[in-house]
C-alpha cells in the first residue's frame, strides 16, 4: 500500500466531479512531466491518493481517491486534436501513461495550502519542496496527517 498526492484544477477535475459519480473510475490522464509520469507508473491497485486543488479560489487538499487501474498508455498522446497530443509518442514507444481512480472520501473541510505549510510534519513533503510537481508520493505519516486535517478519522 502506497500513498500519493495528485494536483488538479477543480474546474477541470475536482473532488466534486468524483463525488458526483462515486462508483465510476475516472482516467487520470494528460500528465506531461517525466517525474510525475514516473510516479504514476509506480502506483499500485488500491493505493490511496489525496486530491489537491490548484490554481483556483480555494487552494488545498479536498479529498481522497483510490487507484483502480494501474498505468496504461495515455490515449490522449495519440489524439491529434487533443491538447495532450505528443508528436514524439509512437504506438511502439509511447511516452505517457494514465491511471484510473475512483472516489473514496471528500474531506469535511478543504484544508488550505496555508494550513499545510504550518505543519512541521509536512515541511519535507513533496508538495512543499517540489512546487511544480503534479503527482507525488506521500509518507504514511504525511498521508494520515492530511486525512486528519481533512476531518476523516478511522
Q: CB of 4 within 8 A of CB of 49?
A: yes
- Coil, helix or strand at residue 130: coil
80 touching DNA, by CB under 7 A: no
By CB under 7 A, the count of residues binding DNA is 17
113 touching DNA, by CB under 7 A: yes
7 touching DNA, by CB under 7 A: yes
131 touching DNA, by CB under 7 A: yes
For DNA, the binding residue among 25, 35, 89, 139 (CB under 7 A) is 35
- Output the nine-digit C-alpha cell for 73: 498508455
Give the Cβ contact number of residue 112 at 10 Å. 15
Q: CB of 100 within 8 A of CB of 26?
A: yes
Min dist. Cβ of residue 59 to DNA (A): 4
32 touching DNA, by CB under 7 A: yes
Q: Cα dist. 131→40, 58, 62, 98 in Å?
A: 17, 17, 18, 21
Q: Binding residues for DNA, per CB under 7 A?
A: 7, 32-35, 52, 54-55, 59, 88, 113-114, 130-134
Amino acid at each position: 500500500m502506497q500513498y500519493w498526492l495528485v494536483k488538479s484544477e477543480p474546474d477541470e477535475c475536482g473532488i466534486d466531479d468524483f463525488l458526483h459519480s462515486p462508483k465510476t473510475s475516472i482516467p487520470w490522464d494528460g500528465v506531461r512531466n517525466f517525474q510525475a509520469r514516473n510516479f504514476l507508473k509506480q502506483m499500485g491497485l488500491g493505493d490511496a491518493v489525496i486530491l489537491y486543488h490548484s490554481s483556483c479560489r480555494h487552494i488545498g487538499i479536498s479529498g481522497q481517491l483510490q487507484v483502480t487501474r494501474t498505468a496504461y498508455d495515455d490515449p490522449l498522446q495519440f489524439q491529434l486534436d487533443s491538447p495532450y497530443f505528443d508528436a514524439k509518442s509512437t504506438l511502439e514507444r509511447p511516452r505517457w501513461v494514465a491511471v484510473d481512480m475512483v472516489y473514496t472520501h471528500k474531506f469535511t473541510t478543504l484544508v488550505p495550502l496555508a494550513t499545510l505549510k504550518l505543519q512541521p510534519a509536512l515541511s519535507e513533503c513533496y508538495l512543499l519542496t517540489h512546487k511544480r510537481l503534479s503527482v507525488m508520493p506521500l509518507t504514511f505519516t504525511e498521508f494520515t496527517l492530511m486525512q486528519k486535517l481533512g476531518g476523516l478519522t478511522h
